[in-house]
Amino acid sequence: MWDLSYAIPSLLLLILFIGYYFFLPRVPNKMNRTFIMLLLIEVTTIIFNLLSSWVDMHYMDFSKGVVEIINSLFFSLFFLRAYVFFLFTTTVVKPDFCNDIYFSMLKRIPLQLSIIMALTSPWTGLLYSVDEKGYHSGPYYRVLYLVFWLYIALSIIIVLGEGKHALQKRERISLYWCNTLLFIGTIFRLLAPRVLMMNTFCVLAVTILYLSFENPDFYLEKRSRIFNSRALRQYLEEINGVKPYKILAFAIHNYRDIRQIYGARQMDAGIDMIGSFLIESFPKMEIFYYRSGRFVILDGDDLELDLDTMKEKIQKRFDSPWNAPDAELFLDVSMVYIDLGNHIKSADTVFNILAESLEKVANAGSEDFIAIDGRDVISSEKETLIKRNLEKAIEQNLVEAFLQPIVDAKNHKIIGAEALARIRDDEGNIIPPGSFIPIAERNGRINQLGEQVLDRVCNFISQNDLSKLGVNWINVNLSPIQFMRQNLDEQLASIIAKTGINPKYIHLEVTEESLIDETLLLKQIENIQKSGFYFVLDDYGKGYSNLARLRKCPFINVKIDMSLVWEYSKHPDEMLPNMISTFKNLGFSITAEGIEDENMAWMMAEIGCDYLQGFYFSKALTMDEFVEKYS
Ligand code: C2E
Ligand code: MG
Ligand code: MG
């Protein structure tokens, strides 16, 4: 009366899977452990489904107790199966509430209650009963479906909610499919309970999970047995913060060139050999290949990775060549060691630090060895945080421009101001430009940042009567990166056009770095001057100065860098006064930066500076503070 023709092939298919799955190496993480549990429970459930169907059909050949035990176990496994599918969803989505102990307790309650029901059914008869006529379903038999549907519904809710951020679209679709198949399986079981079709649907659901999450090939470097960087990232996310770990990584010098010299095929063989060497030499550690000739050895079980011995072993092996099929590969490596101790930081940060430091040692002649501890991570985390705040400020148009007054050197009356960019962290505290401008210059955001500062300044000029504030112009800084932009003149003109202010109020500050490409410089300045802006040379004396080149540039003002000003105020000599008189002969007016006390102000006026800027007069103020103070 039971039809086993679907269950048996399903079971065989599943066993095939398990064989393949266990054959390849797997990262020891929670997702993989849950999947193994899922496979084992699935196999046992199908076996018990077959067994229980068999004893129910031939109940006369077995004692009542045997029939009951097998049925109770089968039903328990049936509930467990629903639960483990759900558990798999939570391990891949990792919703926040999963760490909550109440949720952990709550999610098991339906499972526990239904298993109690299954195990007590021989006495209560709630789920099923066995008498002299054989097996009968009990009055609460449908609980079987309710529990299953409950876990399916929970899985879908989690994917719909938290899954949106945690998973890729493809992965979400796979989980929907998996749960839909499980649901169809229960419907089949409900309509044709004796056909045992549900097992087939469960195996299909397992197949989907396998194909979209579990295929070991996803995590292996192509055609080899070393884990790839995807596996590394996942593993780091898994153990980071849970247990202490140490990393020893190394990079083959000049990998790209070497790959060209030896050829891709030889090099792939070499990478494979290095991988095998590492697996053999450090069998208890996890070995990863993090692309471009970079390997990572991770001691995730706190085996007290013995740095010196390991370093020596690796170095020694690289002293002799690797015998690829058609070539002997002579390779050099540099290493990176990471031990964060108790400074547990986000896995992303660790991954970035690792990638960056490997990049640093990847060239011959670069540093030979980098050791990284918790303090390095803190500074790198700070940078990540600043990056995030910078992105936010730029995306949401929140970059602020503070104003620092510039005064007349003779009477200390305000005459102009410099706009200085500011962004804020999540608490509203100000982040100084010294920490975000270099980042913005590296990632290209400096262009938008500069646009926003100019926009703030234009609005300020259009909304205030500058003459009442005593301000004749406002200096705006232009980074050398902005300066290289071909259409900078159009960009500046279009921002100005929005408020319709006269560009003569804006003095653009450029530094000497912008002067390196002379043809570009002159072309840019000429174009921008046509729109009516003036130019100022900032930070003179900070870097490499070339007076001959300066002469050609139509600056109206040169700002002496505060390092020169401070040096002069401590040890006055002839150099600065001479330089200033040369500038004045060339027709530039002079501003001294970094004036911090009365004496400095006096000295700089004495040697011919026209304008002064510094904390002695005022630090940079918000626009509102500035208006309040100077109107
Ligand atoms: P900078 O253009 O040379 O600006 C002057 C810097 O010196 C400002 O620092 C100012 O607060 C500081 N300063 C002024 N007087 C004194 C003083 O008496 N003592 C000391 N110790 N410092 C003084 P800030 O605001 O931190 O800006 C640093 C640099 O960041 C600027 O140097 C400029 O190169 C860059 N920067 C600021 N805003 C922008 C911007 O909107 N765009 C670009 N591209 N760079 C900017
Ligand atoms: Mg400046
Ligand atoms: Mg300056």
pLDDT, residue 347, reads 82
What band does 222 get if pLDDT is binned at 50, 70 and 90? Answer: confident
Ligand 1 mutation pick, 403, 510, 566, 593, max ligand atoms within 8 A of CB: 593
pLDDT in tens, 478-504: 998 898 888 889 999 999 999 999 999
Q: Where are the alpha helices (DSSP H) in 58-167?
A: 64-93, 101-124, 143-160, 163-166
Judged against a pLDDT cut of 70, whether residue 201 lies above it is answered with: yes
Judged against a pLDDT cut of 90, whether residue 561 lies above it is answered with: yes
pLDDT, residue 180, reads 97
Average pLDDT over every residue of 161-170: 90
The CA dihedral of 245, 302, 372, 387, to the nearest 10 degrees, is 10
| CA nearest ligand 1 atom 45, residue | 477
> Distance between CA atoms of 525 and 527, rounded to whole angstroms?
5
pLDDT, residue 178, reads 96
Tell me which ligand sits closest to the C-alpha of residue 539: 3
pLDDT, residue 96, reads 82
Ligand 1 mutation pick, 390, 420, 511, max ligand atoms within 8 A of CB: 420
What band does 349 get if pLDDT is binned at 50, 70 and 90? Answer: confident
pLDDT in tens, 82-116: 999 999 999 999 888 877 888 889 999 999 999 99
Q: Where are the domains of the chain?
A: 7-217, 220-382, 397-630
Number of neighbours of residue 89 by Cβ within 10 angstroms:
25
pLDDT in tens, 29-85: 889 999 999 999 999 999 999 999 999 999 999 999 999 999 999 999 999 999 999
> Distance between CA atoms of 418 and 415, rounded to whole angstroms?
11
Residue in 393, 584, 553, 405 with CA at minimum distance from that of residue 483: 553
Judged against a pLDDT cut of 80, whether residue 1 lies above it is answered with: no
pLDDT, residue 279, reads 92
Quote the tokens at residue 198: 């549900």
CATH topology of domain 397-630: TIM Barrel (3.20.20)
Least confident of 119-133, 362-376, 473-487: 362-376
Q: How far is the centre of ligand 3, averaged over its atoms, from the C-alpha of 562 (Å)?
A: 7
pLDDT, residue 304, reads 65
pLDDT in tens, 396-422: 999 999 999 999 999 999 999 999 999
| CA nearest ligand 1 atom 14, residue | 614
- Provide the residue type at 142 as one letter: R
pLDDT in tens, 122-132: 999 999 999 98
Residue in 536, 471, 527 with CA at minimum distance from that of residue 501: 471
Percent of the chain with pLDDT over 70: 99
Q: How far is the centre of ligand 3, averaged over its atoms, from the C-alpha of 62 (Å)?
A: 94
Least confident of 74-88, 125-139, 330-344, 438-452: 330-344
Least confident of 18-27, 484-493, 619-628: 18-27
Q: Is the backbone of residue 94 left (phi > 0), alpha (psi -120 to 50) or beta? A: left
- Mean pLDDT of all residues in the chain? 91
What band does 300 get if pLDDT is binned at 50, 70 and 90? Answer: confident
pLDDT, residue 275, reads 94
Give the number of the atom of ligand 1 that is nearest the alpha carbon of residue 561: 3
Q: How far is the centre of ligand 3, averaged over its atoms, from the C-alpha of 495 (Å)?
A: 24
CA distances from 160 to 83, 86, 163, 183 (A): 18, 14, 6, 17
Judged against a pLDDT cut of 70, whether residue 574 lies above it is answered with: yes
What band does 223 get if pLDDT is binned at 50, 70 and 90? Answer: low
3-state secondary structure 368-426: CEEEECHHHHHHHHHHHHHHHHHHHHHHCCCCEEEEEEEEECCCCCEEEEEEEEEEECC
Percent of the chain with pLDDT over 90: 67
Domain 220-382 grouped into CATH 3.30.70.270 = yes
